[in-house]
């Protein structure tokens, strides 16, 4: 991916123009205006306006004796489709959980833990499982019961065979970027700035295990850094070679 220049005596002028071309390219691309998001005004409001990213909440579950046994902080956004009673057709609704309105509860057992978040007309239950052989945990189930004003009747979306947020006992699972968790055909959960630890909590979060998305994010600065290092090396080499040459030139005179 990084072009490695094997030519030993590449003239420094060429390198200079290469650098120049790179910087010009950068300024050009920086000037490209951002794509304008088209606002649809003609179509009927089948899918209402998407709210902004949700606020991050902090939710703890304490065991009988006031010891915290589950830690979670995350922003949560529900994306559900259901038949609207007023429109008489399927609508897509995206709604954020509001940490200041959410009541949290839950329970902890040796190999399972639940976190229940309740707001107005919504109950959202996270079920975590711990495999005591491999000492790995994961989000194994999620249930949303919702009774939104536009629903003809309350609905339940449930999946008990999930495999999300896989972490190691004693560690926390972290995903800073938005992640879309598909739960059922009609319900997906979007998580933001998430960090959870459903087992082995010792006062605070354990060392974080990052999700793939975050690791990909780390890769970009590493690649850019490596490319820059190579460029600097080339320039230094060219300078040294150039200096040696002119030095040799003076000697022959």
Ligand X SMILES: *[C@@H]1O[C@H](CO)[C@@H](O)[C@H](O)[C@H]1NC(C)=O
Report the nearest approach of ligand X to the CB of residue 229 (Å): 39
Query: Given the complex with ligand X, which of 110 and 221 has the nearer CB atom?
Result: 110
Report the nearest approach of ligand X to the CB of residue 138 (Å): 9
Query: Given the complex with ligand X, which of 12 and 60 has the nearer CB atom?
Result: 60
Please give the torsion angle defined by the CA atoms of residues 162, 168, 171 and 172, in that order, rounded to the nearest 10 degrees: -10
SS3 230: helix
Query: Given the complex with ligand X, which of 60 and 176 has the nearer CB atom?
Result: 60
Report the nearest approach of ligand X to the CB of residue 35 (Å): 17
DSSP code at position 243: H
What is the sign of the dihedral through the CA atoms of 48, 86, 91 and 75? positive
Residue 174 burial (CB count, 10 A)? 21
Query: Given the complex with ligand X, which of 31 and 40 has the nearer CB atom?
Result: 40
Report the nearest approach of ligand X to the CB of residue 14 (Å): 48
Rounded CA-CA distance 141/97 in Å is 19
Report the nearest approach of ligand X to the CB of residue 69 (Å): 4
Rounded CA-CA distance 140/82 in Å is 24
Task: Catalog residues that contact ligand X under the rule CB under 6 A.
Answer: 50, 58, 60, 63-64, 68-69, 71, 79, 92, 94, 108-110, 118, 121-123, 131, 133-134, 145-147, 154, 159, 161-162, 182, 184, 188, 190, 204
Rounded CA-CA distance 138/140 in Å is 6
Query: Given the complex with ligand X, which of 92 and 193 has the nearer CB atom?
Result: 92
Q: Cα separations (Å) of 246 from 14, 68, 241?
A: 17, 72, 9
């Amino acid at each position: 991916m990084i072009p490695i220049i094997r030519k030993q005596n590449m003239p420094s002028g060429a390198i200079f123009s290469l650098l120049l071309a790179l910087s010009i390219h950068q300024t050009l691309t920086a000037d490209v205006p951002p794509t304008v998001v088209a606002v649809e005004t003609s179509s009927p409001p089948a899918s209402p306006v998407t709210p902004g990213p949700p606020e991050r909440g902090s939710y703890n579950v304490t065991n009988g004796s006031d010891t915290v046994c589950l830690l979670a902080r995350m922003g949560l956004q529900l994306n559900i489709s259901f038949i609207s009673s007023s429109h008489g057709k399927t609508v897509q609704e995206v709604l954020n959980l509001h940490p200041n309105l959410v009541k949290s509860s839950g329970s902890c057992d040796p190999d399972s833990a639940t976190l229940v978040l309740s707001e107005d007309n919504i109950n959202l239950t996270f079920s975590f499982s711990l495999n005591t052989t491999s000492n790995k945990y994961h989000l194994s189930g999620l249930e949303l019961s919702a009774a939104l004003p536009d629903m003809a009747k309350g609905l339940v979306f449930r999946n008990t065979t999930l495999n999300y947020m896989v972490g190691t006992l004693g560690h926390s699972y972290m995903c800073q970027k938005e992640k879309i968790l598909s739960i059922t055909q009609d319900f997906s959960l979007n998580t933001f700035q998430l960090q959870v630890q459903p087992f082995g909590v010792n006062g605070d979060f354990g060392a974080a295990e990052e999700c793939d998305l975050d690791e990909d994010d780390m890769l970009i600065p590493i690649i850019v850094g490596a490319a820059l290092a190579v460029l600097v090396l080339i320039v230094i080499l060219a300078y040294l070679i150039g200096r040696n040459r002119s030095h040799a030139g003076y000697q022959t005179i």
